[in-house]
Amino acid sequence: MSWCRWAGIRARPRDGSCKGHGTWTDSREVPLCGDGPGWLSAQPSAMHTLVFLSTRQVLQRQPAACQALPLLPRELFPLLFKVAFMDKKTVVLRELVHTWPFPLLSFQQLLQECAHCSRTLLQECAHCSRTLLQERLSTESVQAVILGLTARLHTSGKEAGTQPLCRKHALRVLDMTGLLDDGVEQDPGTMSMWDCTAAVARTCIAQQQGGTAEPGLSPVPVEVRVDLRVNRASYTFLREALQSSVDSPLRLCCRDLRAEDLPMRNTVALLQLLDAGCLRRIDLRFNNLGLRGLSVIIPHVARFQHLASLRLHYVHGDSRQPSVDGEDNFRYFLAQMGRFICLRELSMGSSLLSGRLEQLLSTLQSPLESLELAFCALLPEDLRFLAQSPHAPHLKKLDLSGNDLSGNQLIPFQGLLQAAAATLLHLELTECQLADAQLLATLPTLTRCASLRYLGLYGNPLSMAGLKELLRDSVVQAELRTVVHPFPVDCYEGLPWPPPVSVLLEASINEEKFARVEAELHQLLLASGRAHVLWTTDIYGRLAADYFRL
């Protein structure tokens, strides 16, 4: 019985006639099944129309769909999962996880990849114009996945439904990492990825405390990859989950750890529980560690030899007021940083690094590709060193927000741009006190960054004339997609000069003047054939570019 016929949908016969109640408007001949995942990419528009609609039709009758799963080609399971998840077909979803025939079940691949070309997307696929699933995760669907996983552990090696769970194709990894989470408050029917993590953590605890397999069965261990966001409120609970998973068939594996406002001893305790082979990012924020606290934590961080991203904030070590203890702690920190062999991203936001950048970056074994030094009080010698360092020619992302680039730092900054021009994709210069004169002097170097996709200039005292000059000159940057610009100084009333950043961020603007500015910028974009480039003042509406997505 063919897949389409069982779904109640018939393809148009080769003679072009339309017979039956369900017809398909594309008369090209396409296969209805195949030997591997690649078959879905053949004849993309036709395959998506037929298979996707057929799948949605089949899943309307959940009991029948569950009974039919053993009869269906395993290559259909990824699409079945995606449709069941989107449409909240929880009965089918649970059974799909229970009988999953592949070693890997990845949320990101199944829910965020284009069904046509298998590209992971943030907006629209350039190859087939299909858009990414942007809906929030349904609580019902996530719970169904977890129930299916739990059922699988309890029946591992035993017949499930009408088909045995083959150990050769047993599910070994459930990857719940990587889905977008903008931190906006959820509605009651949806889950953030952090909520998903908490749900899995509860399952780990329950599995260890009371959930056991049936006598005589040996559950096949399943590794559950998660991104952990930990604060004071969730620390105890997540620590228990990590401890419980050590000897459980449901094993938590943290990929990205983000610890917020967490005491130093709790941060160390969590780091000691994490698998060194899984972790790729550590993000410690709002912990106000200082050099003393960092010197305690850094040896525990340095044991993660495969760490690719390290994000630290509020590390105070101002060389202008050195102390013996501070210098010892800083040297110890540098020695530990030298142990990383895979580090590609370093963020030291709001850390006082004046005159110390050479000391910090010279200890690293490999060139960085992402460097965030926002509000670090950098000096000209810091920028000159960075421009001449091995890191500059490899940088994809550079954030210098909050550093004054308007005076004697301007020429060293231009040298840095020149050194990074071949690779730079994302440049953030928020609140750098760049006025028209500095911007115009930098434009020849800036426009050499031919691969630049994102430029952030919010909070700089730029006029409409300066923005128009930037827009005209940036026409040569074919990859540019987003420019976050400030409200032009022309739109303020009675603005002091030079205007303090606080005034630019807090003073009210003339809405009528700004509306005219927006209209003029839009017309210039249309005239230059770049209507697809977003020029916006919305600094909060754009998700920060993640290094791993660049």
- Structure tokens belonging to residue 401: 């927000």
Selected residue with higher pLDDT from 40 and 85: 85
| Nearest to 204, CA basis, from 184, 221, 227 | 221
pLDDT at site 518: 94
pLDDT at 422 over 90: yes
Selected residue with higher pLDDT from 178 and 181: 178
Q: Tell me: the pLDDT tens digits for 504-514? A: 888 889 999 99
What integer best gives the mean pLDDT of the chain?
80
Q: Tell me: the pLDDT tens digits for 42-54? A: 333 334 557 777 8
Q: Is the pTM of this model over 0.85?
A: no
Task: Give CA–CA dist 375/162, Å, rounded.
Answer: 61
Q: pLDDT-based confidence at 87, cuts 50/70/90? A: confident
pLDDT at 246 over 90: no
**Residues of 148-159 as b/e, b for ≥16 C-beta within 10 angstroms?**
bbbbbbbbbbee
Q: pLDDT-based confidence at 60, cuts 50/70/90? A: confident
Spatial CB neighbours of 190, under 8 Å, sequence gap ≥ 6:
136, 137, 138, 139
Q: pLDDT-based confidence at 36, cuts 50/70/90? A: very low
Q: pLDDT-based confidence at 449, cuts 50/70/90? A: very high
- Structure tokens belonging to residue 236: 């105890």
Question: What integer is the mean pLDDT of 86-100?
Answer: 91
Selected residue with higher pLDDT from 527 and 544: 527
- Structure tokens belonging to residue 250: 């449901």
Q: pLDDT-based confidence at 524, cuts 50/70/90? A: very high
Q: Tell me: the pLDDT tens digits for 295-313? A: 899 999 999 989 999 999 8
pLDDT at 210 over 70: no
Task: Give CA–CA dist 2/10, Å, rounded.
Answer: 10
Least confident among 7-11, 30-34, 52-56, 524-528: 30-34
pLDDT at 163 over 50: no
Name residue 124's beta-bridge partners: 131
pLDDT at site 214: 54
| Nearest to 345, CA basis, from 317, 311, 297, 373 | 311
Location of structure tokens 């115009």 = 440
pLDDT at site 208: 66
pLDDT at site 97: 92
Task: Give CA–CA dist 537/515, Å, rounded.
Answer: 12
- SS3 at position 178: coil
